[in-house]
Amino acid sequence: MKMIVTRGGFLTSVQDLGRTGFREFGVSLGGALDPFALRVANLLVDNDEGAAGLEITFGGLQLHFADERAVAWCGGEFDVQIESMPLPAGHAARLQAGEELKFGRPQIGCRCWLAISSGVDVPVVLGSRSTDLRANFGGFHGRALRDGDELALGEFRRSQTAAIEGISSWTAPYDWVSPAKRGPTLRFVRGVDWSQFDDLTIERFTSEPFAVSPDSDRMGARFEGPELKRKSNVDLVSEAVAPGTIQVPPSGKPILLLGDCQTIGGYPKIAYVITLDLSMAAQLRAGDHVRFSEVSLADAHQLLLERERELERFRIGLSLHVS
């Protein structure tokens, strides 16, 4: 069956967990900028965690469903409604055939991820259904959704909606489904070029706030604020980069790389935002202020392991509700 886009919104695209295994060929990872949010939303509607859903930026999206489906969303503070009934983040809901799902503008953050039972059924390109908006391939015709688009959905399974009466009472932990924060602090580990910066620069980086520039997108968040100067201007050899890398170009204004970032870069890498905090980074919009706080690599690993253990317990608890 299909889903009709009655309003495409500001920027909505089909995304899954990304296009892995092709970085050596210059293909970006892509996928949902907050893959954990999409994983949780998919679990809430009894999908595989990697099923393709929608990434919605700044709202304005309206969807019409041709058949019964379960839906759930996670992300910023959005006003989401099924017809006129509010749908909170992190709760699964059953939509009847013909009902509309509407996303208003966010109060906090800028993105959310919608999971639909059985997933969005677009062609797999290089192992993923994600839309590469810069290279114009994957997803739905390699582009953002527009008014009137019709997207195929996976085969309907009654088991995915049978346990849901209206809107579910059960949900996921708040920080998982609503990671957007006002004035967030992003934790980081030291980058390979940390020693390229003097003590005064390091103090600025770790103690002063930075403002998100309007010149930011899915490739990276650019920051205005304290100028970060290197000790020398010796050229560096380009190396692999990944989402979470903080690069410092000659302007001294840092760039936090996100999901659509390039695969190599030659700017010095002062730090790497830890995986857990990329959920908050995905919510940054122009004018937001952020701070950076150092943690050890061991702590970063431990935090990630703890969240994965909690997610496994959540899977088990969820199975008791939907079985």
Residues 96-108 pLDDT 10s: 999 999 999 999 9
The pLDDT value given to residue 236? 80
Residue with tokens 């520039």: 213
Q: What is the pLDDT at residue 121?
A: 97
Low-confidence ranges of the chain (pLDDT < 70): 159-163, 235, 321-323
pLDDT of residue 322: 59
CATH of 185-296, one of 2.40.100.10, 3.30.420.40, 2.70.98.60, 3.30.365.10: 2.40.100.10
* pLDDT, tens digit, 9 for 90 and up, residues 262-302: 999 989 999 999 999 999 999 999 999 999 999 999 999 99
φ, ψ for residue 169, nearest 5 deg: -80, -25
Residues 124/154, Cβ–Cβ less than 8 Å: no
- The full length of the chain comes to 323
Question: Domain residue spans in the chain?
Answer: 2-180, 185-296
Note the maximum CA span of the chain. 63
